[in-house]
Amino acid sequence: MSDTGTRLRPRVVPKLARPRLHKVILLNDDFTPRDFVVMVLKAEFRLGADQARRVMITAHQKGACVVSVYPRDIAETKAARATDAGRAKGHPLTFTTEPEE
């Protein structure tokens, strides 16, 4: 049989790294009212009342608390919106993001 020049070779399919999720982190401060923090957690992150209060208390006692994890653009958008909601009412409430390990 003649050589057709179509030698079969295993197809190389590069493994794509799964994009890392990013944590949204709530930071404590001395001024934002507790009920306002809970309200923002419920509205922006869709936490239930009990979970929102637990997250708020953890941040209050430990200095920070992970709220949730999302793809990077969603985490950054939610953190900015939640921080802005506090600024709009004159509160220093701050949410940050960082990649998961």
Which residues sit at the interface with ligand TYC, rule CB under 6 A? 26-30, 32-34, 37, 56, 59-60, 93
Q: Are 72 and 20 in contact (CB under 8 A)?
A: yes
Which amino acid type is present at position 30? D
Q: What is the closest distance, in whole angstroms, from the C-beta atom of residue 8 to ligand TYC in the complex?
A: 60
Q: What is the closest distance, in whole angstroms, from the C-beta atom of residue 71 to ligand TYC in the complex?
A: 23
71 forms beta bridges with: 21
Which CB, 54 or 60, lies closer to ligand TYC? 60
* Residue 60 CB contacts under 8 Å (≥ 6 apart), including other chains: 28, 34
Which CB, 70 or 95, lies closer to ligand TYC? 95
Which CB, 22 or 65, lies closer to ligand TYC? 65
Angle at 21 between CA 96 and CA 69, to 5 degrees: 60
Q: What is the closest distance, in whole angstroms, from the C-beta atom of residue 65 to ligand TYC in the complex?
A: 7
Q: What is the closest distance, in whole angstroms, from the C-beta atom of residue 26 to ligand TYC in the complex?
A: 4
The two tokens of residue 43 are: 């509205």
CA-based radius of gyration for the chain: 22
Which CB, 22 or 25, lies closer to ligand TYC? 25
